[in-house]
Structure 1
Amino acid sequence: MSEWNQGSEWDQTSVKPDRVPRSIDITRPHPARMYDYYLGGKDNFAADRAAADAALAAAPDMAVTARANRAFLGRAVRYVTAEAGIRQILDIGTGIPTAGNTHQVAHEVDPSIRVVYVDNDPMVLVHANALMADGSRGTTSVIQADLRDPAEILALPQVRDAIDFDEPVALLLVAILHFIKDAENPGEIVSTLREALPKGSHLVLSHCTLDFSDPETGDALREIYSRATAPLVPRTHAEILAYFDGFDLVSPGLVHLPSWRPAVPPTANHLSRVHFYAGVAQLS
């Protein structure tokens, strides 16, 4: 039997079905593919769409939040590259590449900036060739690994070959820590990564919160994501702020995501529909 998937739902994705390993489980929703669906992508499957639709029914603003988070990613990457001068990025939990991804934004500033994507979803690796097709081959790489084992990520030869840990690094943990359970020690994960970074490095982080939501919505979302490959663990401002221990937050600090250095001030209506905090900080 072939090791590659053939036909069926793969025909609707942007990758060729005969080049996707059968090991990818499309019967259980994955947060990265649900996020792709929120953003209007097509690299998702029936289980992902069903779970995402249920999430949207419980919290109709999930898609608005996803798009706002993508916009924050662009602003933050432009900041760490154009203003902070960083020339290497470690993006963990990147998800399925879409327009305006980290390497595209960074290379608008400087095509030589090195970007390493890390994600535990095999679908991200499937997209590697397409990712490199835009001329970024040699400066951009994609690695399958899990944030829950940060020491393994840091020790991977592919990471060590691409990232010089004697020079400042931008560490991106964008919309990923809320998929790490408290029992999996997310604070320790961030601490392990921080200790590997030299002075001048930056942390870019966004995180789901229920500070702007009602408890019923939170309960519904937790139930939906409990059936996915990772749970959803929204956290408070104080809990998220703790991840920046050892870093110095840059202005405006850890704020409601649309309020982080927007080109145009967000409206009250837009703010009310986005359920993330976001911040950027420097290691000094």
Structure 2
Amino acid sequence: MDLRFDHLIHAVSDPERARHAFADRFGWHTVAGGEHPGFATYNALAYFGLPYIEWVGVRKPEVAAERPFGRDVLRVLRAGEGPMQFAVRTNDIVGMADRWSRAGLVHEGPIEASRVRPDGVTLRWRMLFPAQEPGKLLLPFVIEWPAPDEVRLADLRQSGLSPDPAAAPRLRAVHAVVGDLARLRRSMDAYFPGVLEPCESSEQGRGVRWTCGEVTVFVWEPAEGALRRVLDTVGERPFLAEFERTAGVRTRTAADAARRLEAAGAPVHGLWVVTSE
């Protein structure tokens, strides 16, 4: 199963204000996005090569409430701004949907979507949503872009949307917290079999990781300490983005993740960010 981390979705009340806040705090190259007419949402973005962070807001709540994705953004925003979900990229979304159907797995899609970039280029993609537990977004959704990765990356750099790779930090890891890791593993193993590996346990808790292309996704069930406070405060969701200017993810245990969280300082619009050389 060739799946790669595509992007982290960060629900915010005002994507433009959010992108400028991250640019001011971390020096990121951020760009305006566009409208998602099919979902009544709109966005702004920061690319780190092909992986990116998407700040998404709701344009028309009454319409978004009736649409997939739009209603999820609304629900997250009612609890406060913050990361809500991540997406993984495939080049065979129809085949994946067929496999889920044959296995009797409930899903929605593939759904066609599009938006117009500020430079007038129309982007198109397809999305596939696994069934989630009520009120939760613990599983990633799947996205397929029509162009190969190398073509998309060249276009992003040529258009100025993605910065010079020598000057930009690399998104190396995304961390999430859950209350019941075993339950999450059962759902993940159904939709995405074989992708999770156990992490070393520590007094801070236990976790799993998904090496998803150049980005590793960690999911922790915290027992105590800083990660437990995050779970108690913001609930089950992604919370920390880890950047490095050199290759290699150093986090191995929940205690490591807690130290990274403490090094991050205050969150920005509900997302903690840590960068190391």
| TM-score > 0.5 by shorter chain | no
- Relative to total residues, which structure has the larger strand share, 1 or 2? 2
Normalising by structure 2, report the TM-score: 0.30
- Relative to total residues, which structure has the larger helix share, 1 or 2? 1
Normalising by structure 1, report the TM-score: 0.29
